[in-house]
């Protein structure tokens, strides 16, 4: 009987600490809706400018240009892994360019240093990123047997004998780099800029998690309702991580881990564009991953904080 009040008190303490997070600090601007409209206009202009530049840079590589000209799922040839690696890098560069455009539009519009949207009041923490990547990556690997027990086929791309062995190492490196940039870009936009801006609607951490999760899922334009709910759950959890830890690093690591493990052990990146109709039971492992993520975040948030160090990017 004594455990229930203890757990309730722990939840209340976490919510109170989340409410005091620097990620929820007031931006303190006059006429917030007019300022928000100015941000949208500037972000649109910057994005229109950077996307052609990113595509031009990608097209300068003949191998990358071939991949860009091949729409949808890449052809299943012996060198497919190399093409998938190029696709990951290309996706990362495009998303990264857009994220930088949005970040700097927010910094200019709200007159803040870019770092204040990413990890206000401290520097970037490589430890948070590493724990997010290692912890959530190991969790996703551990739940693969669940899919096997439920009858799913398992044909990991990295172990597929139909692909040239010499392409595996480049595939791992290019996919890791491309997905890192892509994950960081999505976190900068959703758990950085959008989270800070939506604090003008509400300061309640759980409400912000719900808003951010829905927006994050909607941006993927996936019509599958199960996939929509799954991404909403992920978006909510990563928003909580950003709020509790005062920065995006853990969320970036966790986001990268989920995409990287899927690309290595489940299906190549290009197949994510295929329409799918998942079963609602498929949400079970996502909920499990969410619970484990929250536990890791709370353990990290309640541990001794790292000493703050000033850097130009965050001041």
Q: Which residues contact 73 (CB under 8 A, 6 or more apart)?
A: 270, 271, 273, 274
Q: What is the pTM of this model?
A: 0.91
**b/e 101-123 (16+ beta carbons within 10 angstroms → b):** bbbbbbbebbeeebbbbbbbebb
Q: Residue 5: which pLDDT band, with cuts at 50, 70 and 90?
A: low
Q: What is the pLDDT of residue 70?
A: 75
Q: Does residue 89 contact residue 102 with C-beta atoms inside 8 Å?
A: no
Q: What is the pLDDT of residues 62-91, one digit of tens each?
A: 888 888 887 678 888 999 999 999 999 999
Distance CA 245, CA 24 (A): 12
Distance CA 19, CA 22 (A): 9
Q: What is the pLDDT of residues 183-216, one digit of tens each?
A: 999 999 999 999 999 999 999 999 999 999 999 9
Distance CA 103, CA 143 (A): 35
Residue ranges per structural domain of the chain: 28-314
**Torsional sign, CA 284, 290, 293, 297:** negative
């Amino acid at each position: 009987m004594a455990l229930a009040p203890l757990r309730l008190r722990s939840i209340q303490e976490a919510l109170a600490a989340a409410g005091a997070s620097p990620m929820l600090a007031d931006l303190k601007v006059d006429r917030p809706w007019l300022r928000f409209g100015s941000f949208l206009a500037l972000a649109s202009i910057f994005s229109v400018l950077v996307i052609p530049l990113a595509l031009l840079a990608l097209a300068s590589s003949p191998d990358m240009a071939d991949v860009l000209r091949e729409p949808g799922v890449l052809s299943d040839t012996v060198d497919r892994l190399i093409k998938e690696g190029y696709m990951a890098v290309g996706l990362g560069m495009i998303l990264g360019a857009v994220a930088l455009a949005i970040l700097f539009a927010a910094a200019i519009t709200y007159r803040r240093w870019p770092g204040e949207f990413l990890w206000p009041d401290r520097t970037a923490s490589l430890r948070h990123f590493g724990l997010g990547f290692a912890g959530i990556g190991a969790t996703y690997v551990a739940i693969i047997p669940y899919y096997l027990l439920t009858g799913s086929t398992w044909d990991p791309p990295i172990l597929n004998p139909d692909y040239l062995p010499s392409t595996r190492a480049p595939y791992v490196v290019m996919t890791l780099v491309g997905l890192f940039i892509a994950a960081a870009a999505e976190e900068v936009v959703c758990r950085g800029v959008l989270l800070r801006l939506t604090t003008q609607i509400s300061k309640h951490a759980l409400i912000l998690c719900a808003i951010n999760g829905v927006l994050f899922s909607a941006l993927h334009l996936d019509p599958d309702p199960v996939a929509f709910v799954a991404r909403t759950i992920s978006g909510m959890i990563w928003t909580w991580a950003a709020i509790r830890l005062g920065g995006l690093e853990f969320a970036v690591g966790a986001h990268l881990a989920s995409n990287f493990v899927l690309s290595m052990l489940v299906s190549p990146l290009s197949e994510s564009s295929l329409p799918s109709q998942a079963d609602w039971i498929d949400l079970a492992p996502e909920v499990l991953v969410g619970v484990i993520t929250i536990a890791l975040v709370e353990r990290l948030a309640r541990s001794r904080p790292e000493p703050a160090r000033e850097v130009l990017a965050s001041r």
